[in-house]
Structure 1
Amino acid sequence: MSAEKTGKKDHVKRRRQPLKATPEGLERSALYYLERYDSSSGHLRRLLRRKIALSQKVHGTDPEEGAAALERLIARLTGLGLLDDARYARERVRSLLARGTSTAMIRAKLAAKAVPSALTEAALAEHLGDSGGAELRAALRYAKRRRLGPFRLKEREDRRARDLAALGRQGFDYETARKVVDCEDPVALEAEIAGP
């Protein structure tokens, strides 16, 4: 069938040109991103720097002007409370711990989002407190979610090494992974972690 008969037009898709990185354009991009996602200031800065570099390449804009406008924008958004690295770190730590993420993996994920390590450590200390069982509790949550170890319905002994490896890849140390995988009663282990 020809294009005329099917009603489809024969055209080449054009790539949309990136917009110039003006202060107004950067602000629109930042606000649009923040409407959809929570972000750290470092991560937003990284995203907007890419826009500035692309604008320089395509439109020949001045990268120093873009960088200065970006820093003013980040300061303004932080002053308005739209960017708060400490809040972002606390919320990410809380949600990742609830999912069963190890502290090592949480540190790596927050570092990838350009959260300062001091804020990450403060958020971890706030959520974990002095309890040594937080890592074990997170490993149990992960095992339950992925049906590993005591949560596996079939072939538990045959899959022991795989389950240990899965927990290891998530950043849990061998002892924690072993306790979870070899646990016979996860409810009792959870109660033991919680204490009296």
Structure 2
Amino acid sequence: MVSEETSSRRKRRNSRPLDDTRLKDLALAYVARFATSSGKLADYLRRKIRERGFEGEPPDIDALVQRYVELGYIDDEAFARTREEGLRGRGYGARRVEQALRAAGIEEGIRAQVAPSEYQARHAAYRFAERRRFGPFGGEVDRDRQQKQIAAMVRAGHSFDAARAMVEARDTDSASEWVAEAEGMD
């Protein structure tokens, strides 16, 4: 539980309005600490200005973010690739990856560049089913349970067809063959 003393001390420390120098320091500390996109940095700075206020003329946040992009502190494409690979590696589908990149403020062109291929999408579905013990990885299940597994895969961003193919696969070999079929499609 937070005591009143701690709460008032925290409030006192953050209550000073920002100025140009403090805003730049906040931005630099943020990009030094977190792998981020230009959209996430802009959102962070706007939130800080909303919380603490700003002394003087409102700053041009987009210009500050653009300066950090030019300096190489922020690389939206590298961020998008890393995020996409991480999510896909955990078994999430293309739709879920797209949502995460859109929420991070990644432009549509970059999102299209890093979109997973058919083979990668199928491999992610395989990985998700394996991790969650769906379909051939979980043993015999009834039709109702299969429907729930398909729904979980769709919520994880996989297409309905991919989820159904994975959950209804007879065994792990047929699931592996389904993934391998897409290798030549790209």
1:67 corresponding residue in structure 2? 59
The match for 1:194 is 183
Pair 1:122–1:194, CA change in 2 (3 A) = closer
Q: Partners in 2 of 1:173 and 1:96 — Cα distance?
A: 16
Given the alignment of the two structures, is residue 22 of structure 1 paired with residue 19 of structure 2, yes or no?
A: yes
Cα shift at 1:142: 1.2
Q: RMSD of the alignment, in Å?
A: 2.3
**Letter of the structure 2 residue corresponding to residue 73 of structure 1:** L
1:38-187 correspondence to structure 2 within 5 Å: 38-56=35-53, 61-62=55-56, 65-68=57-60, 70-124=61-115, 128=117, 132-153=118-139, 155-157=140-142, 159-183=145-169, 184-185=171-172, 186-187=175-176
- 2:89 and 2:124 in contact (8 A); partners too: yes
Q: Which amino acid aligns with 1:165?
A: A
Alignment partner, residue 3 of structure 1? none
| Cα displacement (A) at 1:11 | 5.9
Question: Could you say if the C-alpha distance between residues 151 and 52 of structure 1 is closer, same or farther in structure 2, counting changes exceeding 3 Å?
Answer: same
TM-score, structure 1 normalization:
0.78
Residue segments in structure 2 that go unaligned for 5+ positions in a row: none
Q: Which runs of 5+ in 1 are unaligned?
A: 1-9
Runs of 4+ in 1 over 4 A off after TM superposition: none
Q: Report how many residues are paired.
A: 175
The alignment's TM-score, normalised by the length of structure 2, stands at 0.82
Cα separation, 1, equivalents of 2:146 and 2:113: 35
